[in-house]
Structure 1
């Protein structure tokens, strides 16, 4: 279908319902440091009490981005796939409640909708995921209804042909600008299957560990990671690094952007990266400069981690601007 007027941004990627289960931190459920980072451990065969659970419909990278963009005053749509079940119906209704256009939500009568389980252990989370094997198809907007920007993110391992269709369409529409925030499976697949997407991207956003996986670069050398990502095509690159801020390059200079000051310790970190990437994109779509877009992004990321779930903390435009006005003088991107 073609919108009555072009969307500011069309977000593309899988949508899920998340059920977040809050684990009790005791002797039966622990975290420990392994050689490759922290691990979550639970006693096998036990019946473990949990503190509570919440269900979040319309989650996922691209959906979180669409909601973030609508709250920042943009006209956003989501191209995604759901099953013909109660979960898919709730997701579609929730997207509409957030003001996201659902014309390109494809409903598959014989399929179930993606449902993930988030194990919360303090502020950290471990996610149990399963992506259903949808018969993905790209429904291209007409030339008169093409979005100004596309925000492309996480898809399942079954979507290779679909990704090629999207890349072909983007190649035929050079006027449409592209932000690429690769999801976990896209990161694992490396550059090869997505080379056309990387080359076509105006902005690519990923975290430091993902940049190492994608480029094969040195985790300790951020300059090299930025250069390696530029080498596969994007004009602008951002590498997020959790509480240590973010690193960015527009091809001319390398900048470090600090985090926005947290008002309290994080409640839960789900969606922090999505909030950062989507807010950066929204700022650029709204016509903000590269440096100002870097200032926008950590504000939403900070507020998201003060809530459970990836969308409750997403700020409307007026509140984000108010937070920026209260930022300390040191809250600026600086060369590094």
Structure 2
């Protein structure tokens, strides 16, 4: 790997959106009617979901993306670069090109979206070529054009193939196998995994995918996640955490960011999966996509509450705390600052203050 002092932990590229999310609707809007939402949040969206989630987990994250010259782009650039600390050295701003906007309606645990925008002015490969070296990249292996990430894979970068929806509808296994060459991890959801592999269960799909990548991870939504390690044949499945989901926007990106974080730390496979499930579970309890992503302060708060419940004799909390005992050590050395959440309008910087005190351990007395 590169010894360049500019080296990033993670590089991502893709389209950035302004996301406006409505929650708390009493019913689905019907033609000719008006429905009032009890909640609303604005946040950077699209690939920004992944970039923010990774940056909040203390990965030095670079974003190679196009930005317009409108007021929305000013806000996106400021929030991502200055507030969230995303490296925008490989991003560009283009005159006479405006930001893409998505309005998302969260209802009954799912979402519907309306989007307006235009294709990026230049291919992702053009922007990514100017980015610093990176220890890891998250890529869409089915994107059109020459895979910009292959030279980085050859240089030793961890390549994570995120998702895998086939817009052609053919779900050609040979196409996927060719696209995954050089990737270390593939993270489709259960429906995608079974469609690509022509299998009838997520576990069977994960085993089939492990023939093409060193690590196949299949996300199961509200049912947790499972993975198969191709080298050892080990199969790991982790259960979900019980939470009240407010908005699922960006949960998959948070899962991927957390998985990359844990992988770069060299954690065991079960710990990596549990960490990713936890981070995505914390995210869906807030609305606003990228700005719902947890920081280490959120993880410390969850761990403190879980440990406190375990000490009262709550058997469920005790079991959860034992499963996540690794988190007590993982929290050490990270600033436990609070992070900004999405607000109804295009808000200014947060005035959130750092959390106080160290993270507890399960066996503190």
> Pick from 226, 229, 238: which aligns with 2:217?
238
Q: Deviations over 1:43-81 (max 9, x none)?
A: 33x132322563423212x32222122222221111122
Unaligned runs of 5+ in 1: 30-41
Higher strand proportion, which one? 1
> Which stretch has the larger CA shift, 314-323 or 65-74?
314-323
Residues 68 and 93 of structure 2 are in contact (CA less than 8 Å); yes or no, is this contact kept in structure 1?
A: yes
Residues 187 and 210 of structure 1 are in contact (CA less than 8 Å); yes or no, is this contact kept in structure 2?
A: no
In structure 2, what is the Cα distance between the partners aligned to 1:89 and 1:197?
35
Alignment of 1:1-336 (within 5 A): 5-22=6-23, 24-26=25-27, 29=28, 42-44=29-31, 46-51=32-37, 54-60=40-46, 62-96=47-81, 97-130=83-116, 132-134=118-120, 135-138=122-125, 139-140=127-128, 145-153=132-140, 160-161=144-145, 164-170=146-152, 173-182=154-163, 184=165, 190=171, 195-213=177-195, 215-218=196-199, 220-231=200-211, 233-251=212-230, 252-262=233-243, 265-317=244-296, 319-320=298-299, 323=302, 326=307, 328-329=318-319, 332=323
What SS does the aligned partner of 1:69 have? helix
What SS does the aligned partner of 1:8 have? strand
Distance of aligned partners of 1:67 and 1:246 in 2 relative to their CA distance in 1, 3 Å threshold: same
State the superposition RMSD in angstroms.
3.0
Deviation at 1:259, TM superposition (A): 1.2
Unaligned runs of 5+ in 2: 308-316, 325-365
**Structure 1 length-normalised TM:** 0.79
**Structure 2 length-normalised TM:** 0.73
Residues 15 and 82 of structure 1 are in contact (CA less than 8 Å); yes or no, is this contact kept in structure 2?
A: yes
Distance of aligned partners of 1:124 and 1:221 in 2 relative to their CA distance in 1, 3 Å threshold: closer
Distance of aligned partners of 1:24 and 1:177 in 2 relative to their CA distance in 1, 3 Å threshold: closer
In structure 2, what is the Cα distance between the partners aligned to 1:203 and 1:69?
17
In structure 2, what is the Cα distance between the partners aligned to 1:195 and 1:108?
36
Q: Deviations over 1:167-205 (max 9, x none)?
A: 44335x341111111365669575666655412211111
In structure 1, what is the Cα distance between the partners aligned to 2:43 and 2:298?
24
In structure 1, what is the Cα distance between the partners aligned to 2:148 and 2:272?
26
In structure 1, what is the Cα distance between the partners aligned to 2:298 and 2:21?
27
